[in-house]
Amino acid sequence: MAIVKPFKAVRATRDKVAMVSSKSYEIYTPEMLYSKLAFNPFTFLHVVNPGYKYHKQDITEELRFKLVHNRYLEFKENNVFQKDSLPAFYIYEKITPTNTFCGIIAAVSVEDYHNNVIKKHEGTLKKRELLFENYLKNTGFNAEPVLLTYPDNDEITAIIKKYKQQRAEYEFSTTDKDLHLLWVVNDANDIEKITEAFKDVETLYIADGHHRSTSSCLLAQRLARENSNHTGEEDYNFFMSYLLPESNLKIYEFNRFIKDLNGLTADEFLIELDTFFRIENRKQELYKPKEKHHFSMYLNGEFYALYLRKSIYNFTDALSKLDAQILYSTVLKPILGIEDIRNDSKIVYSQDKSDSLELKTKVDAGDFKVSFGMLPTNINELKEIVDSDLLMPPKTTYIEPKLRSALTIYEF
């Protein structure tokens, strides 16, 4: 039973939301960031990049978090942000040139995270967990929802459909040609229907935002210890999420680029691969896998198709069936000497849906010796691994939608 509740969002006024909301701070290059800050006084990037106001970018973590809080207060004082008077769910639809996503922004329970009702598929780094916990504690808000997915539910879908027939509270386009719409659900009957419908959902799966989830839970534990009157109903016991039905989630693969062959020549490397793979040299023909356990490889100016020898490879559990894990356990670790696939500088990951020749172009440029591609992981594989209490290797999934910052803000 998933606990999903409405909350009073802090959000931009309708006339300014297109200028306020932004992509995640980490996406912008320094040049892009400077341009946004210089020419848009309303962008939320001014809040999360507070040193710009004082022409000072090199500031301590503690001072930065304090200034973020101050810039946030200024946006509220200037009525750029206003807090809703009633708790609400927020139906958010993002329409891109290729996909349409529609789900519900809501508050979910940290207890559900601890009780494994909300499940994760990736590991997290303790350093990043603590950094974001400290950020939340000092700023007092979260502006990016965690992306959760749930099994398709007819009742929830019907409510969403009902509101989409009405005029949206927000409707704006961005320069990347995406259309964003948001409807406010503050009717008591509809709130109850949504709340009750999610009680029938046994499991919510984290699609994106593992560190934000964990950090929110760490903060809740910290604030509970500091609050002698803790009841469990305080806002810090919940965190903001965007709940999307499984059928609407889009999962893409990451390509892998390796900087050296671990002392092997190209011919020696191919001989090593022959143990676990049937190898076909496709020459200059672009090869992209069409089945699980098939891999594309680009080496020395030529494409190769690698087909796993299933009579040799031992499938032991859900993780061992995952293509990213197969590549790691048969190639990256034993042949190329890459033990720590999260931190080893020899491996680089890239997701570029617009460039089908990426495996070739990046190797031909000279920075890498070999590259690998595979089919994307599907939602059933993800769920099987999670339900088996296993974790995927890093950079197994690139999941959309990617959400905007400051469309709705959760305070605690």
pLDDT grade for 355, boundaries at 50, 70 and 90: low
Same domain, 95 and 214: yes
Q: What is the CATH number of the domain that holds 323?
A: 3.30.1760
Domain count along the chain: 2
* Alpha carbons 270 and 286: distance in angstroms, whole number: 19
Same domain, 217 and 267: no
pLDDT grade for 123, boundaries at 50, 70 and 90: confident
Among 243, 5, 222, 218, CA closest to 108? 5
Residue 255 has pLDDT above 70, yes or no: yes
Same domain, 261 and 295: yes
Same domain, 196 and 54: yes
| Mean pLDDT for the stretch of residues 335-355 | 88
Q: Per residue in 167-222, pLDDT tens?
A: 999 999 999 999 999 999 999 999 999 999 999 999 999 999 999 999 999 999 99
Same domain, 202 and 329: no
pLDDT grade for 343, boundaries at 50, 70 and 90: confident
Q: Which residue has the tokens 């409707």?
A: 171
Per the structure block, which two tokens stand in for 62? 């503690």
pLDDT grade for 62, boundaries at 50, 70 and 90: confident
Kindly report the average pLDDT of the chain as a whole number.
Answer: 95
Residue 371 has pLDDT above 70, yes or no: yes
Give the pLDDT score at 86: 98
Per cent of the chain over pLDDT 90 is 90
Same domain, 51 and 183: yes
Give the pLDDT score at 52: 78
Same domain, 120 and 225: yes
Same domain, 229 and 325: no
Q: Per residue in 310-333, pLDDT tens?
A: 999 999 999 999 999 999 999 999
Q: Per residue in 33-52, pLDDT tens?
A: 999 999 999 999 999 998 77
Residue 257 has pLDDT above 70, yes or no: yes
Same domain, 174 and 144: yes
Three-class SS state of 101: strand
Same domain, 242 and 388: no
Same domain, 44 and 185: yes
Per the structure block, which two tokens stand in for 319? 């993780």
Per the structure block, which two tokens stand in for 199? 């009680």
For the ranges 56-70, 121-135, 252-266, the lowest mean pLDDT is seen at: 56-70
Give the pLDDT score at 223: 97
Taking the CA atoms of 109, 113, 119 and 124 in sequence, report the sign of the dihedral they define: positive
Helix or strand holding residue 75 (H, E)? helix 61-77
Residue 55 has pLDDT above 80, yes or no: no
Give the pLDDT score at 267: 98
> Structural domain of residue 383, as residue ranges?
254-396
* Alpha carbons 110 and 118: distance in angstroms, whole number: 9
